[in-house]
Amino acid sequence: MKRFLLYILACMPLTAGAQALSIDDCIALALENNKQIEASRHGYDAAVYQQRSARALFFPSFSLTGTAMYSTASGSYSSGIQQLPVIGPDGLPTGANALMALDINYDVDWLFSAGVKVQQPIFMGCKIRTGYIMSKLATEIAWQNQRLSEADVIVATSQAFAGVVRAREMLAVARSYDALLAELLRTVEVAHARGVKPRNDVLKVEVKVNESRLNIRRAENALRLASMNLCHYIGRPLTDSIAIDDVLPEVDINGLTADISNRPEHLMLMGKEEIASRNIAMARSEMLPQVALVGQYGYSNGIELNGRKLLDSWNFAVGVQMTFSVWDFGHNSNKVRAARAQYDQAVAERTDTDEQLTLQLTQSFNNLDEAALELDLANSSVISAEENLRSAARQYQAGTELLSDYLEAQALWQQALETQIDARVGYYLRYLDYLRASGSLN
């Protein structure tokens, strides 16, 4: 019953009174619900198990063996009566003795054996050690792939969160501008009623008010779409009404790396290059001797000889097993050449990708630098627009400025605020891109 109630509460949509989600909360929900992240985690787990499997080859292996075979083979053998010479004291033959005939009857019938076998590799051409190193590299690649998937989700979720913040602030600016126009409309209507202002001024303000109402509706629709987009990433139904704290993380450009050494893509390609290098040694190991220590203890039974079991006892056997390829018509040597070609291919791919990643890092830094300047200019423009609006309001009330100039000052003020919002959100997004390009996004 308690679990059912908890499930009902978890499925209820967030309301205005619910606790607002921060960007970290949204990222945590996205990482938890994203299927790509789940797939990359399973891939990492598989790589860990493969590494453990490769490490187990260093130790002896124990196995139970058993064989059962039925054969109709049977037969007999008789040596016949044999005459052997009798040697006298002087070393000369003095006669002959007769020996009894040797008669043997055998019947294979059922032949079976069972026991415990242990095998310990001694030297396998460095195959086991190389395979273990390759499995460790594969585990690291799987981890970097998980980092890459998480970085994609973090960026996408942060962009969706920033989109909601931008839409909310744009809606607030649109409503502020509409309130400013509504106040101006009342003032103009009163002035027109008193005969101070012409009817044309009222019509001009009404046109602006209608445009403002349309902009508010567009801002509301944009906010609704941005919220649905965020719900998509955090695993909530698209129709949920979620509350966020509207706080973007502070941009801290101190300590940022200027290279791609920590980029998941770079580390993955480095791992693939190292695996290709180790694969050469793996192919070469097929051309080296392979030695293993083998021991077995078991029971054997079978083969009747003159009505008695020839094999019917427990026994122990130990030995050394060695395999060495003498000639295989170029099978192993061509495998080595193929491994070297694959290594050269991995080096070329890694070099090309590193250049592309370096270009991305440089471009993201330039975008971040331009976004910082854009934000400074936008802040300065807002200050100027506010001062211009106050001056235009005073002059219009004093009758020294036309209505069109006052309306233009209001429009410039709205435009400056919208530009400031775009610049602030854009600055954070460019910072996010730079973190991703430098491999610093965690």
pLDDT digits (tens, 9 = 90+) for 80-103: 555 556 566 665 666 555 555 566
Instruction: Give a yes or no: residue 145 inside a domain.
Output: yes
365 pLDDT higher than 60: yes
| 312 within domain boundaries | no
On whether residue 149 sits in a domain, the answer given is yes
Does 293 reside within a domain?
A: no
138 found inside a domain = yes
Q: Which residue has the tokens 């990708």?
A: 353
Phi, psi (deg, nearest 5) at residue 14: -70, 140
Structure-block tokens of residue 373: 């300047």
Whole-number Cα distances in Å, 184 to 60, 196, 209, 213: 90, 14, 10, 15
The answer as to whether 103 is a domain residue is no
Q: Domain tally for the chain?
A: 1
The model carries a pTM of: 0.79
d(CA 423, CA 431): 12
Query: According to the model, what pLDDT value does residue 24 have?
Result: 92
pLDDT at 9: 34
Instruction: Judge whether 427 lies within some domain.
Output: yes
Q: What is the pLDDT of residue 14?
A: 37
Q: What is the mean pLDDT of residues 395-407?
A: 86
Dump pLDDT digits (tens) for 178-213.
999 999 889 888 888 888 788 888 898 899 999 999
Helix axes 127-193, 23-33, angle to 10 degrees: 130
Tell me phi and psi for residue 317, to 5 degrees: -135, 140
Q: 351 is written with which tokens?
A: 């070099």
Cβ distance 149 to 30 under 8 Å? no
Q: Which domain holds residue 215?
A: 16-58+124-288+330-437
**Angstrom distance (rounded) from CA 107 to CA 74:** 4
Report the pLDDT value the prediction gives residue 77, as an integer from 0 to 100: 66
Helix (H/G/I), strand (E/B), else coil: 222: helix
For a pLDDT cut of 90, what percent of the chain falls above it? Answer: 50
Q: State pLDDT tens for residues 242-301.
A: 889 988 988 887 777 778 889 999 999 999 999 999 999 989 888 888 888 888 888 888
Given a cut of 60, whether residue 224 has pLDDT beyond it is: yes
77 vs 107: which has the higher pLDDT: 107
Q: What is the CATH number of the domain that holds 157?
A: 1.20.1600.10
Percent of the chain with pLDDT over 70: 89
Tell me how crowded residue 54 is: count the other CB atoms within 10 A of its CB: 20
Report residue 2's pLDDT band, with 50, 70 and 90 as the boundaries.
Answer: very low
Cα 75 to the center of its chain, rounded Å: 69
In a domain, 228, yes or no: yes
Task: Give 176-216 as a DSSP string.
Answer: HHHHHHHHHHHHHHHHHHTTSS-HHHHHHHHHHHHHHHHHH
